[in-house]
Structure 1
């Protein structure tokens, strides 16, 4: 097993994950308008979104992420007061990942924060395909789409399993009281 190496584009924020293998987490391409809005907010559309407007996301337990350098550069935004927490490195606007609340053991790591060579070393599972294709910038053909039912079933199973195992703590994004480590900027889009 191998760890994923994490780094922002300028190298200020660095980290690693717990050991990964082909059964760890879920890899998807998300075309939703919120992921697109996050990339636009960061002015990183060209680095984050593919031609369909999708962001590659790797969903893993929240406690698996360790930031080893640049904690002071971590920032957060939300598209609305109840929206997901969207974490990024403010030094270079590299998106880090998306989380729900502190008690939900989930982070969707964004591909641009993951060192590509470590993906091969960790032998991650294949990408399941595109989701939320109604927001895609161009037609996503059925053979490229992930099965919504299969992906949601896998995510729910993982969340329950990870919650039972207590994999929401420790978290570099939420303190022991369940509050985000930095005050999120709320856009109210």
Structure 2
């Protein structure tokens, strides 16, 4: 989406895991758009007006998880250092070569998911409506569009 300078070494996308119920979009809700690389792929949410990535969510509103794009935050110090590296086999030259911290990340994900279901916030999200449908119909890229996206 034209933000190559904001990627990590090796082409990694810096994400911060948050519960969707904790995300507040204060302006531009009408600009939320979604694309998917395949019919069952992640929902990749972005601002239609400026192509700024917002978050990734899994294919259903039932999983209370959003990976928010770290450069959105003015202050990233509270997040601490990067704790998890995943999918490193797909990294570009110069990037990390070993996954790190996946067990810890999955444990935290399970803990937050359980807490969200217990406190009733699991289905609250700025990206899905009360019925679990995406607030913006996802554009599902075909094979040609996917190939073109990777070239850009």
Q: Structure 1 length normalisation: TM-score?
A: 0.67
Q: Does 1:106 align with 2:57?
A: no
Rounded to whole Å, the distance in 2 between the matches of 1:140 and 1:124 is 20
Moved >6 Å (runs of 4+): none
Q: Report if aligned partners of 1:49, 1:55 keep a CA contact under 8 Å in 2.
A: yes
Which range is displaced more, 162-171 or 81-90? 162-171
SS in 2 for 1:130: coil
Rounded to whole Å, the distance in 1 between the matches of 2:91 and 2:112 is 26
Which has the larger strand fraction? 1
The alpha carbon displacement at 1:159 in A equals: 2.0
2:15 is aligned to 57
Q: Does 1:178 align with 2:132?
A: yes
Q: Report if aligned partners of 1:47, 1:112 keep a CA contact under 8 Å in 2.
A: no
Q: Report if aligned partners of 2:123, 2:132 keep a CA contact under 8 Å in 1.
A: no
1:27 is aligned to none
Rounded to whole Å, the distance in 2 between the matches of 1:162 and 1:127 is 24
2:88 is aligned to 133
User: RMSD of the alignment, in Å?
Assistant: 1.9
Q: Does 1:97 align with 2:55?
A: yes
Rounded to whole Å, the distance in 1 between the matches of 2:139 and 2:53 is 14
Which has the larger helix fraction? 2
Q: Which runs of 5 or more structure 1 residues have no equivalent in the other structure?
A: 1-41
Q: Does 1:149 align with 2:103?
A: yes
Rounded to whole Å, the distance in 2 between the matches of 1:104 and 1:90 is 24
Rounded to whole Å, the distance in 1 between the matches of 2:21 and 2:85 is 26
Q: Which runs of 5 or more structure 2 residues have no equivalent in the other structure?
A: 144-152
SS in 2 for 1:43: coil
Count of residue correspondences:
141
